[in-house]
Structure 1
């Protein structure tokens, strides 16, 4: 009988998953388009004046969920430099930070939306967070579906159920008794709220990610659930000084407050203008269909359990929102 031959594998073949620090809560104090900034400082002051009481409320709420511990809460702000660049960082960011300070708010972390699409990685590499998340989508086929629908990797569309069946030929329209069927939401409670989400568009071979999909990446980053070959994605870079005239000269995420609680958090809350409500509905659908690696999940579970801080099992349920009337 031959002895078994031992198997050897290099440890580099199994990349170590980087461990991250966690706040209890990450509060997003805004996500504005370039067009919003063009309206001037008064627009920014109104925004933060409206946001401040809600930030205080969610900060107080998370404190009630802890026993004998002070809540770790960090704030962040997302600037859209992906879909348009009507202004430069040196012109736009100082008034933004000043307006927040006038309202009694501190922006701990400032992020660029373009970083959710492409960002610098380790040792001069480039990471593509949106592509990484797209490859991790696991569609939930509705019960009784025929499988005729092409996969999301080909279509760029993701839904929370089954579309209205499409007749495959004009002759089929003449079939006696052909009946229209409505779309249906998977797991609907009584009645369906069907949603079909465009994740990207393409023109001349160039892919443009949708706002909803980039916002999904943003949530995964804030929740500390996204890695690139084991490494953290969009890790904050300390920033103290003047801002450049080129967005690409800025790191994807800046830590503006050296005393800030960790950027990543067990749960998130975003205080946003009401126009983002349909976008964030789409985000929840995407998060429900993303496969997250086991190790980041385990890290969050172990840390939160040690602090007796309850974290929902579902990724989408870890994100909450406020849509104030004044925004």
Structure 2
């Protein structure tokens, strides 16, 4: 006799799919010092970015055999680490300077939305999906897990060892797990504890941002950090009254995409190296991964298996006047 097995319908939630563009092109990821430098800084940024937009579009078209690619653009504002100005003052300025450079921003996001969006603790959720990659021959007992320390490495940390008599300490170098000939070891801080609670790091929030742009974030099977249409010419004076992700244009191209490309100043290079380290160790929702794989195969679009390889970058040298502003703020 076959025994019936009953399960709650919520035990295995269905993974909802999201529409996907070929490329999510980020036109800016700026912080307080960029806006402190005035409209000229934004003008210089978009003028530099405009040069690389054409190259990114051409690359996307080449990858899909010369067809016209579906490309959406986005822009990220830091309202998490610093509440600078107001949406009513800042967003029109950003859109105006982008337009002067011949650019259209389809989607605009608040960085705080990568921590919490629509009541969902996105950063906390991604943190619980981290799976550390132990170095060969290690047993994981020599260091606490990332959930306790808030630090994530790409290999074995430096570990001094003592002789049997505990008199001589021998230094052991760090070792990258997937090193080729020589190690490039990284150890990234994902959060810190403050009087007001956990403060997520810039690399960790940027990793959440990349997962959202790649259409790989889910909560109980449902997409998260979804765009909210915005057609009102007026913006609120309080950041908390603004949805975490806005759809600003009438473009029909989706926010999420098979691949991402981010155009940004080269001072973010170390941050984005840490982002890739994090992406390599996130146990991404398998249902979302399967959906992307099937849809990309159906379109004849090659998508790397490794999530971190789906993210590409263009780094440019920032102007000298901004470096002076950064020194003054420091």
Question: TM tier, shorter chain?
Answer: over 0.9
Query: Alpha-carbon deviation of 1:99?
Result: 0.3
* Between 317-326 and 217-226, the greater mean CA deviation after superposition: 317-326
Which of 283, 291, 294 lines up with 1:299 in the alignment?
291
3-state SS of the aligned residue for 2:288? helix
Which of 216, 229, 233 lines up with 1:238 in the alignment?
229
Q: Is the 8 A contact 1:222 1:264 kept in 2?
A: yes
Alignment of 1:116-155 (within 5 A): 116-120=114-118, 126-146=119-139, 147-155=141-149
The residue number in structure 1 matching 2:4 is: 6
- Measure the CA separation in 1 of the matches of 2:91 and 2:291: 34
Query: Alpha-carbon deviation of 1:271?
Result: 0.5
3-state SS of the aligned residue for 2:25? strand
**CA shift in 2, pair 1:85/1:174, >3 Å:** farther
Which of 181, 189, 214 lines up with 2:180 in the alignment?
189
- Measure the CA separation in 1 of the matches of 2:165 and 2:23: 57
Q: Is the 8 A contact 2:150 2:190 kept in 1?
A: yes
Alignment deviations for residues 96-139 of structure 1 (CA, whole Å, 9 cap, x no partner)? 1100000000001000000010111xxxxx20110011000000
Alignment deviations for residues 192-241 of structure 1 (CA, whole Å, 9 cap, x no partner)? 11110000000236100000000000000000011001111100010112
3-state SS of the aligned residue for 2:170? coil
- Measure the CA separation in 2 of the matches of 1:316 and 1:89: 32
Are residues 1:95 and 2:93 paired?
A: yes
Q: Structure 2: any 5+ residue segments left out of the alignment? A: 320-330
The residue number in structure 1 matching 2:25 is: 27
CA RMSD of superposed structures (Å)? 1.7
Q: Is the 8 A contact 2:126 2:282 kept in 1?
A: yes
Which of 273, 280, 283 lines up with 2:275 in the alignment?
283
Which of 217, 231, 235 lines up with 1:226 in the alignment?
217
3-state SS of the aligned residue for 1:140? coil
The residue number in structure 1 matching 2:201 is: 210
Count residues in correspondence: 317
TM-score (norm. length: structure 2) = 0.92
Query: Alpha-carbon deviation of 1:34?
Result: 1.9
3-state SS of the aligned residue for 1:284? helix
Which of 186, 190, 193 lines up with 1:199 in the alignment?
190
* Between 266-275 and 62-71, the greater mean CA deviation after superposition: 62-71
Query: Alpha-carbon deviation of 1:14?
Result: 2.2
The residue number in structure 2 matching 1:123 is: none
3-state SS of the aligned residue for 1:12? coil
Query: Alpha-carbon deviation of 1:68?
Result: 6.4
Q: Structure 1: any 5+ residue segments left out of the alignment? A: 121-125
Alignment deviations for residues 44-63 of structure 1 (CA, whole Å, 9 cap, x no partner)? 01000000111111111110
Query: Alpha-carbon deviation of 1:299?
Result: 0.6
Query: Alpha-carbon deviation of 1:151?
Result: 0.2
Q: Is the 8 A contact 1:108 1:260 kept in 2?
A: no
TM-score (norm. length: structure 1) = 0.93
Which of 251, 258, 270 lines up with 1:259 in the alignment?
251
Query: Alpha-carbon deviation of 1:177?
Result: 4.7
